[in-house]
Amino acid sequence: MADMLSQEEVNTLLGAFDKGDLQVPEQTIEKNLFTQKKVTIYNFKRPDRVSKEQLRSLELMHEVFSRNLSVSLSGYLRTLIEVHLVSVDQMTYNEFLLSLPNPTCFNICSISPLEGNIIIEINPTIAFPAIDRLLGGDGKSFAEARALTDMEMQMIDGVLSRIVDNLAEVWAEIIRFNFQIEAKDTNPQAGQIVPLSEIVVLLVFEIKIGEISGFLNICIPFLSIESIADKLSLQHRYGSGERQKDNEGTKVKKLVQRVQVPLSVSLGTVNVSVKDLLELRIGDTIDLGKSIDAALEVSISDKHKFFAKPGVVNRKKAIKIVDVYKE
């Protein structure tokens, strides 16, 4: 049994505490302070429904989207376009609406086969320069803040088409979306796709056209992607990427096989004077300097690759490859 203090020893210790003769070492006090449990603030009114890992996965996906969109818009608007991913965050739908300018280019887009809609919002600071470029201008912004007209909203469809095409491409590794613009408006308060308190994922992109920059916002309600939320984990994405790696060579081969290249056959060449060329008439014969049994040169993209013999197949002129040209 462990030794126990007598009553006299207990009274002595208590008296020493009262007089201040007995002190607790500072190291012990500091140790007790550091061993206290840490408290994490949690807001029950706004719970975090999207994990940090899922947000990171979305960030990596849409960094690829921003690079692809830069190339796509640069070709469409015929000028250098820079697109950068600014942030990926979760918030309530009401907070998202309050962050938007009014008026703006507000588009509601369906995401079949999943239910629900997403929002694609293009700030007027970038919508007007894009329209100016489409009309042959230098891509300057308008000094007057106003809503887009119906015709201008139609003109921005080309930009929206490239946005949804690139979105579908980066989401294809998780699910093949069929994006479709369902409604357009200039007032963001007019379109309520989910309750104001519902959690959404907001993707913010900065678009630069020359010296002018503006923002592209893509709002995805968590309710719409909740059924595929487990596929947003990095482990699932990288695991599926390894499984698909073996098929990439086959896919590339099929794509290359569909590429068309120009093929030409040279019957021969000859130099003639301008006088003889002007005197050519129907029925004249030109000596090409080749024997009838000589092999013809077959070129692909103006590069000599094969030798061939002329002939006829099914009443159509044809050639038969007889040898490979070696440089």
Whether residues 65 and 169 fall in one domain? yes
Is residue 206 over pLDDT 90? Answer: yes
Containing domain of residue 196, as a range?
52-240
Assigned domain for 269 exists: yes
Q: How many domains does the chain have?
A: 2
Residue 45 placed within a domain: no
Coil vs helix vs strand at 111:
strand
Burial of 7 (0-12, 13-18, 19+ CB in 10 A): exposed
**Are 305 and 291 spatial neighbours (Cβ–Cβ below 8 Å)?**
no
Nearest to 171 by CA among 207, 108, 220: 220
Confidence band of 26 (pLDDT split at 50, 70, 90) = low
Token pair in block for residue 190 = 């007019």
Residue 13 lies in a domain: no
pTM score > 0.75 for this model? no
Verify that 190 and 317 share a domain, yes or no.
Answer: no
Tens-digit pLDDT profile for residues 122-146: 999 999 999 988 888 887 777 677 8
In a domain, 103, yes or no: yes
In a domain, 69, yes or no: yes
Residue 313: inside a domain: yes
For residue 258, being part of any structural domain is answered with no
273-295 pLDDT tens trace: 898 888 889 988 888 878 778 88
